[in-house]
Structure 1
Amino acid sequence: MKLNVDGSARGNSRVGGGGGACMDHQGSLVFSFHNKYGSITNNIAEAQAMVDGLKICADKELNNIIMEIDSRIIHEAVSNLFHSCGWKLWYRLEIIHQFVQPLNLRFSHTLREGNSVADGLAKIASSGAPDKTYICLIPILSGAPQF
């Protein structure tokens, strides 16, 4: 599974939101989401979007997750679990790291162009749209017939 997430804040420390999309190994959508966060910074919005996406993965019992994010700062922070960041970010990094082993989670940095769907969902959320999660209705089955 590949989970792309992004955070957005309209003017740093203003209305923010996050979003993401999870695809299976064939590129089919498994779920997507967007959540508004209120007054938040870009980095906190990015980290919160990671938490939100991972909670959905855990709820749906998905594993072997490659999480792609386009923020180099957050990628480095989550990969090295920075202890010198502010407590709001550190708290979210701690939550993210609780998912690493159960979900067989790996992190990857991607360019902004590779994260356009998550970016669009995050912008919808930061525009003030209501929180929404979309779940694919087709079950993911290994060996399922291809149509």
Structure 2
Amino acid sequence: MIKFGLLWHKISLYASLLWHKISFCGIKFGLKLNISLLWKIWDYCNQATFNEVVYHQRTISSFLKVVFKEVDSNFAKLGTTNNSWFDYLILRRIGVETRAAPPPSMIEVHWWPPVGPWMKVNTDGSALGAPGSIAAGRVYRDHRGWVRGCFHFKRGLGFAFETELLAVIYVITIAHHKDWRHLWLEADLAYVVRLLNSHSLDIPWRFLASWKWTLRLLQDLRLQVSHIYREGNNVADLMVNRDCSEGWWPYALDEIKHAVALDMSTYSIIRIKY
């Protein structure tokens, strides 16, 4: 026989495991299955609390086995368990076949300088909320990795993608003004990369006029656009998060010198992708 405290602990344990097991499965089926499971748990607990009904452990285990096997039969290829020995022991105990999640993959991220006469600019933006206070930072570097200019600005309320878009407009305008005709723009936001590669006009209307003017400036430039992971965009990230006043500087600021030196070394960052 099994008492209420042990009953609740055992059912809660299995229910938690079941939630992890179907977390990668279909939403509709998972929601329906969890509602049925929670209703049954509630019924068991009420019977044990108010009607002093005692249940055999075999009864609880049989019910949970049926629920788990229903998950297995509907999602034989999609469902996975957590990679933990605790999950494995529970599933083996109730006779359910386990499927471990695939191991994470590792990607080496490194910043590479451009080939002369190209100028490479790394961009980053942030928004403290949605919408929130927005800020952006950009760093221009030549083929030797030397900083040729950097800037930081803050604006009012907005979204993160609007920050990136506004910064790209500034980047291209400055490059055109400095007569840097070969520009390699590297960003960690796929939205900006897609806009520049397609010359799309699918942007917020308040930026449309400035964006059209930017596309006209691009006719005088050779532009290359690429995506970089955030781990390799540390210099631009430091420019975004600086607390000092906004502006343009034709040299490397003290707070980014160390990150610039790391980029020019053989230092790499490992990105773990689950």
State the TM-score, normalizing by the size of structure 1. Answer: 0.80
Partner of residue 70, structure 1:
188
Deviation at 1:136, TM superposition (A): 3.3
Q: Does 1:13 align with 2:131?
A: yes
Q: Does 1:135 align with 2:253?
A: no
Q: For 1:25-45, what per-residue CA distance to the aligned partner results, in whole angstroms no more than 9, with x for missing partners? A: 110000000011111110010
Partner of residue 169, structure 2:
51
State whether residues 8 and 42 of structure 1, in contact with CA within 8 Å, keep that contact through their aligned partners in structure 2: yes
RMSD after superposition: 2.0
Structure 2, gaps ≥5 residues long: 1-118, 253-274
From 214, 224, 236, the equivalent of 1:106 is 224
State whether residues 99 and 105 of structure 1, in contact with CA within 8 Å, keep that contact through their aligned partners in structure 2: no
SS of equivalent residue, structure 1 residue 108: strand
From 199, 212, 216, the equivalent of 1:81 is 199
Deviation at 1:92, TM superposition (A): 4.9
From 94, 119, 125, the equivalent of 2:237 is 119
Distance between the aligned counterparts of 1:135 and 1:109, measured in 2?
A: 25
Structure with higher RCO (Cα < 8 A, 6+ apart) = 1
Distance between the aligned counterparts of 2:209 and 2:238, measured in 1?
A: 26
Distance between the aligned counterparts of 2:210 and 2:194, measured in 1?
A: 14
- Flag the structure with higher strand content: 1
Aligned residues: 134
Partner of residue 143, structure 1:
none
Deviation at 1:89, TM superposition (A): 5.1
Partner of residue 4, structure 1:
122
Partner of residue 141, structure 1:
none
CA gap 1:113/1:89 in 2 versus in 1, 3 angstroms: farther
Q: Which amino acid is 1:131 matched to?
A: E
Larger radius of gyration: 2
- Flag the structure with higher helix content: 2
CA gap 1:13/1:87 in 2 versus in 1, 3 angstroms: same
State whether residues 122 and 185 of structure 2, in contact with CA within 8 Å, keep that contact through their aligned partners in structure 1: yes
